[in-house]
Amino acid sequence: MKLTTTVLKKIIAEEVSKFQESKLFGDMGDVEDVDAAEVDADALGTDKALENPIDHYKALGLEETRLIHRLAQIHEAKKKVAKKAKQKMDAEKAKKDDDVKKGVVKNGKNGNGKHGK
């Protein structure tokens, strides 16, 4: 099959109708009906060529603020975990010290290898 302009237009029309049925993009209108501002070639690299100019510094500042807040939350959680771990270690050490004072040693043996108290 030879690919002619009429065949190509038919294929494109079929694909467009598939996309419109699946709601992937909106209605296609005539190009002449679009109200677009014309920009000189000299202004293409400026904000005049953009539809919605963005203050990138401000956008990055907002992202930075969000990340700083999240980092503060992480540091707070880390402090809590460290505090709990220290409390647990202190409690275990205190229990071990109490056991040593009472003469109880792990595995039921004292330092000379004999059982008992």
Q: What is the pLDDT along the chain (117 residues), one digit of tens a residue?
A: 788 999 999 998 888 887 777 666 666 667 777 777 676 666 666 665 566 666 777 777 778 888 899 999 999 999 999 999 999 999 999 988 888 888 765 555 555 555 554
110 vs 99: CA distance, rounded Å: 11
SS in 3 state form for 62-102? HHHHHHHHHHHHHHHHHHHHHHHHHHHHHHHHHHHHHHHHH
Indicate the domain borders of the chain.
56-103
List Cβ neighbours of 7 (8 Å cut-off, separation of 6 or more): 1
pLDDT score recorded for residue 57: 72
What three-state secondary structure class fits 50? Answer: coil
In the structure encoding, which two tokens stand for residue 25, read together?
């993009």
pLDDT score recorded for residue 32: 74
Residue given tokens 């969000």 in the structure block = 66
pLDDT score recorded for residue 66: 86
pLDDT score recorded for residue 35: 72
pLDDT score recorded for residue 25: 61
Backbone angles phi, psi at 109, to 5 degrees: -120, 145
